């Protein structure tokens, strides 16, 4: 028998779009983070803006907390819901509502897949710049929640740099308009506050985004090195030259070998200690000059070889290896923790040595594929979660990697969010006063802690804040 709540939700979205059976809930018990799982109380899949508003208002009236979910590709456990929480899945809200090539603006629903937007814009000579590795699956609503980046964020910026306006459903069902589709909005930057809030402030029901022209010329270079340190030093030298590539990505030998042994093989040299994928784009003359200068810098810093993609198909092949690297890791072990931390570019060579030492001490397989141009590291820890002792070593190593990045002047996350996974590390980076301020901001939007409860800010911090009489 359906529960009373399920019956009420069914009246809004129809019987096909409410999930309550254990077998159905298991499908939604995890995301891209293999170390955390939990089954929601039930799952509801609204199919229109009006249904979404109705669902949130009903949940508010029932004092039932909820978690918004897109494709479930997140890597921080940010879209997990427990048995006391409803999972609101947004994949049916997948319409591109408007696309204006003159103003280079588009309005989309949150369930639109990232890559589909660029496909729709391409006939007009436009593209959507943020390109996470999961772009063929991840949704734009999830990108907004996590402030997603991708390889090309080095030049083009992360999601927040491309969001102009939002229609959001607040946790009580109120509809609010943030930002302006006509340009910079007056007053506080509420769009900037909402983007990256990980669903704690509500749900973006309509998203107005900037599109950018497809570059006139694109030069993609692959350089290989006999040491990871030399590759890291080459990255710093490129940025120090004043050239900002569209992308500057690094993969170490373990990652390269996994890719080349998979269906995503891209022709990377498997005997290299590290490879760098550099892309320069823009006007033909400018991009060509920058590509030549970068090639010279790479060679002067020890690159064994530097080759340029010969045509669009060759370029796509080189990028396939990088974008599908996480999938290729499945050849190493059944589970993968993708860490996400940031260090100053100048610290890259040293921090990679530290990560290698952490791997040796904990007897773990750690491979590195990351956005070298902005120091956004992705140490990938391959393991089998069925081995409890091994899983514990993974947890300890993750904590040591995060602490080392903070000590190097960095941060605990670059683009994957905090969610559940990084929540325990927040006090390493933020003072009690800063954490209390985060709790206070959250309560402005969500006084009942209804939206994505228990994420990002350590629970004890908000309890202490409320106990202090600030609530």
Q: How far apart are CA 97 and CA 117, in angstroms?
A: 11
Q: By the 8 A CB rule, do 366 and 358 touch?
A: yes
The model carries a pTM of 0.94
pLDDT value of residue 2: 75
Rounded CA-CA distance 251/228 in Å is: 9
Please report which confidence band the pLDDT of residue 187 belongs to, taking 50, 70 and 90 as the band edges: confident
Q: How many CB atoms lie within 10 A of CB 299?
A: 14
Over the chain, what is the mean pLDDT? 94
Could you tell me the residue ranges of all domains in the chain? Answer: 4-89, 96-213, 217-327, 333-407, 430-467
Q: Which CATH class is domain 96-213?
A: alpha beta
**Quick one: pLDDT at residue 470?**
47
Length of the chain: 471
| Torsion (CA) 441, 439, 379, 358 in degrees, nearest 10 | 150
Q: Which residues contact 276 (CB under 8 A, 6 or more apart)?
A: 221, 222, 223, 224, 225, 231, 234, 235, 248, 249, 250, 298, 303, 372
Do domains 96-213 and 217-327 share one topology? The answer is no
Fold observed for domain 4-89: 3.30.43
Tell me: pLDDT of 471 over 50: no
> What average pLDDT does the segment 256-285 reach?
96
What is the per-residue pLDDT for 467?
65
**What pLDDT was estimated at residue 468?**
63
**pLDDT tens-digit readout, 27-84:** 999 999 999 999 999 999 999 999 999 999 999 999 999 999 999 999 999 999 999 9
CATH 3.30.70.2740 fits domain 333-407: yes
Q: Which fold has domain 217-327?
A: Alpha-Beta Plaits (3.30.70)
Q: Which comes out higher in pLDDT, residue 181 or 159?
A: 159
- Whether the per-residue pLDDT at 1 is higher than 70: the answer is no
Helix (H) or strand (E) holding 258: helix 253-260
Q: What is the pLDDT of residue 463?
A: 62
Angle 458-462-466 from CA coordinates, rounded to 5°:
165
pLDDT for residue 379 is more than 50: yes
- Whole-number pLDDT of residue 219: 98
Torsion of CA 419, 424, 428, 430, to 10 degrees: 50
């Amino acid at each position: 028998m359906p529960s009373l709540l399920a019956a009420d939700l069914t009246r809004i979205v129809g019987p096909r779009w409410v999930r309550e059976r254990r077998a159905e809930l298991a499908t939604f018990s995890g995301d891209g983070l293999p170390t955390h799982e939990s089954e929601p109380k039930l799952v509801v899949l609204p199919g229109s803006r009006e249904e979404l508003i109705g669902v949130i208002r009903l949940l508010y009236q029932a004092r039932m907390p909820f978690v918004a979910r897109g494709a479930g590709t997140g890597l921080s456990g940010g879209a997990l819901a427990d048995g006391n929480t409803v999972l609101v899945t947004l994949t049916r809200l997948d319409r591109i509502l408007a696309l204006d090539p003159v103003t280079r603006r588009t309005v989309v629903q949150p369930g639109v897949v990232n890559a589909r937007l660029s496909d729709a814009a391409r006939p007009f000579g436009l593209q959507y710049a943020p390109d996470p590795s999961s772009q063929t699956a991840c949704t734009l609503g999830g990108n907004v929640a996590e402030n997603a980046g991708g390889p090309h964020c080095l030049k083009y910026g992360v999601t927040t740099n491309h969001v102009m306006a939002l229609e959001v459903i607040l946790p009580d069902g109120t509809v609010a308009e943030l930002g302006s589709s006509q340009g910079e909005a007056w007053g506080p930057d509420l769009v900037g506050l909402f983007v990256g809030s990980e669903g704690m402030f509500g749900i973006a029901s309509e998203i107005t985004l900037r599109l950018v022209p497809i570059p006139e010329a694109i030069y993609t270079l692959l350089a290989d090195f006999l040491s990871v340190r030399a590759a890291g030093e080459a990255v710093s030298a490129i940025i120090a030259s004043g050239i900002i590539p569209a992308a500057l990505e690094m993969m170490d030998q373990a990652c390269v070998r996994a890719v080349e042994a998979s269906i995503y093989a891209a022709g990377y040299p498997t005997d290299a200690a590290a490879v760098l994928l550099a892309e320069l784009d823009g006007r033909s003359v400018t991009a060509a000059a920058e590509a030549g200068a970068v090639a010279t810098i790479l060679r002067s810093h020890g690159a064994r070889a530097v080759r340029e993609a010969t045509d669009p198909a060759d370029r796509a092949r080189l990028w396939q290896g990088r974008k599908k690297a996480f999938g290729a890791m499945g050849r190493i072990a059944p589970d993968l923790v993708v860490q996400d931390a940031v260090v100053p570019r100048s610290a890259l060579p040293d921090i990679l040595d530290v990560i290698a030492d952490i791997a040796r001490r904990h007897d773990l397989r750690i491979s590195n594929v990351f956005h070298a141009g902005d120091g956004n590291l992705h140490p990938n820890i391959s393991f089998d979660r069925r081995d409890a002792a091994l899983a514990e070593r993974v947890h300890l190593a993750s904590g040591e990697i995060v602490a080392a990045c903070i000590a190097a002047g960095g941060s605990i996350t670059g683009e994957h969010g905090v969610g559940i996974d990084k929540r325990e590390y927040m006090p390493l980076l933020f003072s009690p006063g800063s954490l209390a301020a985060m709790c206070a901001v959250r309560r402005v939007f969500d006084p009942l802690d209804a939206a994505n409860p228990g994420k990002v800010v350590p629970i004890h911090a908000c309890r202490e804040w409320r106990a202090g009489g600030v609530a």
